[in-house]
Structure 1
């Protein structure tokens, strides 16, 4: 039996009373018209879907329109279901909508305060983004192409040795590229402690990442509730995830510092920045900034790019006609005599279109990241109150039937110039975010996935597994419902296309 102290009881009582007051208190006495949305219950709250929220919001579009307004425990939330509204608010009015809502669970309790994608708009966010942008802007990405090329060839050889373990090979490749760039660390084929740390931390973020997944996001005062009380298990989960989060950012950074001290650090973002930092006098705040940005690139590259890559592989497995078409184009350019390089990109637009369509078909962040209105605003006659969390329904926008005809069909040809007239089939870059908060690492992600897909198509046929009757098994189109969505585990076969292809794979390490 747990003995509650007077302080415990007082804290719980205050939290509950203030929470109820905030819920029952009318949000505003204004008579201005709010956007339409589902009716609130007696506590002024709407019950939100617990899984696949983006699908429910897309269905609600038929009832309420392109913007949906709702309140959850006193928190105003607006969902955007169309490109036009997202462009007007999040792009053209980015001065109002570039901040983020308070993320009590993820930022305060789980320790992701260093992740600048969740930081409120301001100087701290600008400092982090500026340093990241210096190393990952489009005109400097080419300096990482040799690393991407080398690690892509590693996955080709790994698929030849252990084709059934393709999911791990994909994960390793995404992590290996960013670990070498960020920390100069080369990942073993047999497993790596830093990849394990990233996996553990990102699993927590995926579960808690969608705003409002945990009640404490809506009622921040609940963070003061003792973890042993009924209903406070979220604090125990947060403490476990916090430990993994801190290990993920601290341990590889310390590894580079130790290597610098020993005189054997390999070139990387962290080593270069730490050397400059030391020469400038060693400001502690700058050291923290370097560590944070290294961790950000590590987290985004190792996990998000891996999910994007796996989604592309899932599409190649199930969509044989499009895969064969892309392979034909690759054969015409390369002639089966060499592996692709980034110099082939202009001639292999079919691969680029395939990558774009994989991104559209099931975006890694189907509900995007929540924006935050820092001022009162008005759109189409509706009032958007200051303090509203704005959720861009990326999945709904990229599956709009007008913008993307037959949206459920995987069709890379939709991005051919002839099929992009009158605003239809526009590039799905919104999968990377909007306005000032668009992902600054998107070009790195696109280049990594592009080369991997082009290289695999060059030397492998991606075939479906066969059932007991010898018939091909079509993979189920099923995905997780977390913040970072990915295909559920599926099976496929990577079969070398010819003896010449096998030789290309085996000789791929000779250039390094």
Structure 2
């Protein structure tokens, strides 16, 4: 008889997984049982291991419907993970603003909340995924130092140059409008962060970032992959059957690292050979070299923040601009009114500038409605409760994941009448709105409390300038079918973390010969 007993490799893996599962479920099931003695928020029926009927796509729409059944906050329990969905502005303000100390983290008790994205895919450098604490504050502080509200004017020249490139590109190949908008959003951030000039047709760094962002979009919503609920699955060997998530995560991780490492290394090389171009990374690296008492880890923070600028800025900007184009096709009367306002100020004699903003209030309304109508991050980003709490008599246990349903908040019919309709006019009289308690400016599109997007000022002004410039010289018109009838595009959006309109067609037609001259004049 053999002197010892051993399992085949496959059985050994199964054995250890079973042990991990037992170690994971047992304490959480006990805690959940104890928690039930205190009233939890209402939610769908839950079995011993939780609810397995959660929506796998367009979660924000499903949770918004659940609000009608269960109320402003909904509790679900899945595989040892308590989850609360926040469906109203009132609850979001109370939890994320007034109780921000408890609701600002992404991690609790050293347990990552986003195992797939943070640990397996390598997005630990994104400070929106970091736990609230010293490291997060270092990253956010450095970001704010360069993207504060009072500093946005420093980037007007970059935004203007790249937006003018968009106007010319739309004249040359209007069918590629989505690519042109994407290129411009990327070019602005790459120039500011790395001093890199993005070419008109293709760019290696933009391609790297796009591939990485596609992975983030697919995996970004909490619970998309089972490993988010069962973190011990990260130990499953990639070669095992059913471990495709590990293999896919490895592919995405390489793209994520390339996105953050390669453009930063290019800046370092330019500094070394004396050809540095003024930008965020160059300024901070040269400052670091002059500081003999610098933190040895600070270079990593600089690299992370440079990457964060792209990840946070480029995709959100282009998604909002695509919503704008779609809205002009569905609601041409909005375009007519906006162009009349532009013509009253510009008289088709010049393109708009940032100095014109106070004289173009309806363009502001259009931007706000683009942000509200279909928010770029409809489910926000998951947070962790760092200590037991209570809201409206309901118990919220420590370690609960909290998901802000931004879409539901910005489509509350009591706050935004006719919420599915694109209506910039709703924001035209804010004093009246304040008196009535309706049509609040959609700041939730940028997040909440301490986790609110610190780059929102530059993002807003970039979108504003692009919309003002495009409408001043172009008419965005519907395509015509073979029968001579206009094609009204469907208002349909992707179900990913960063939601954007599904592909659609349209025409960009210069409004007049004078408009054509203004477009050509941007090349000088």
1:406 aligns with 2:418: yes
C-alpha displacement of 1:198:
0.7
Residue in 1 that maps onto 2:23: 18
For the Cα contact (< 8 Å) 1:305–1:445, is it kept in 2?
yes
Which segment drifts farther, 295-304 or 175-184? 295-304
| CA–CA separation in structure 2 for the residues paired with 1:96 and 1:119 | 15
Residue in 2 that maps onto 1:267: 278
1:21-60 aligned within 5 A: 21-22=26-27, 24-30=29-35, 31-60=37-66
Which segment drifts farther, 123-132 or 364-373? 364-373
Q: Secondary structure at the match of 1:251?
A: helix
Residue in 2 that maps onto 1:74: 80
1:92 aligns with 2:98: yes
Alignment equivalent of 2:122, drawn from 111, 115, 128: 111
1:468 aligns with 2:474: no
For the Cα contact (< 8 Å) 1:171–1:302, is it kept in 2?
yes
| CA–CA separation in structure 1 for the residues paired with 2:493 and 2:241 | 32
Alignment equivalent of 1:320, drawn from 332, 354, 366: 332
Q: Secondary structure at the match of 1:70?
A: strand
Q: Secondary structure at the match of 1:27?
A: helix
For the Cα contact (< 8 Å) 2:25–2:80, is it kept in 1?
no
With the length of structure 2 as denominator, give the TM-score of the two structures.
Answer: 0.95
For the Cα contact (< 8 Å) 1:179–1:186, is it kept in 2?
yes
Residue in 2 that maps onto 1:369: 381
| CA–CA separation in structure 1 for the residues paired with 2:368 and 2:96 | 22
1:56-97 CA-to-partner distances (Å, cap 9, x unmatched) read 101011111111011011111111111111111111111111
1:120-159 aligned within 5 A: 120-159=131-170
| CA–CA separation in structure 2 for the residues paired with 1:172 and 1:205 | 19
C-alpha displacement of 1:229:
1.7
Residue in 1 that maps onto 2:404: 392
For the Cα contact (< 8 Å) 2:211–2:255, is it kept in 1?
yes
C-alpha displacement of 1:508:
1.2
1:171 aligns with 2:182: yes
Which segment drifts farther, 447-456 or 40-49? 40-49
C-alpha displacement of 1:22:
5.0
| CA–CA separation in structure 2 for the residues paired with 1:489 and 1:292 | 32
Residue in 1 that maps onto 2:506: 492
1:342-361 CA-to-partner distances (Å, cap 9, x unmatched) read 00000111111101101100
1:431 aligns with 2:437: no
1:213-268 CA-to-partner distances (Å, cap 9, x unmatched) read 11111111110011122221100010000000000000000000011111111100
C-alpha displacement of 1:309:
1.6
C-alpha displacement of 1:46:
4.0
Alignment equivalent of 1:331, drawn from 324, 340, 343: 343
Q: Secondary structure at the match of 1:338?
A: coil
Change in CA separation of 1:450 and 1:349 when aligned onto 2, cut-off 3 Å: same
For the Cα contact (< 8 Å) 1:39–1:46, is it kept in 2?
no
| CA–CA separation in structure 2 for the residues paired with 1:319 and 1:342 | 26
Which segment drifts farther, 191-200 or 417-426? 417-426
Which segment drifts farther, 100-109 or 483-492? 100-109
Aligned length: 508
| CA–CA separation in structure 2 for the residues paired with 1:283 and 1:390 | 34
For the Cα contact (< 8 Å) 1:90–1:434, is it kept in 2?
yes
| CA–CA separation in structure 2 for the residues paired with 1:5 and 1:150 | 59
Change in CA separation of 1:407 and 1:9 when aligned onto 2, cut-off 3 Å: closer
| CA–CA separation in structure 2 for the residues paired with 1:420 and 1:153 | 37
For the Cα contact (< 8 Å) 1:198–1:302, is it kept in 2?
no
Alignment equivalent of 1:380, drawn from 392, 395, 412: 392
1:173-193 CA-to-partner distances (Å, cap 9, x unmatched) read 000000000000000012000
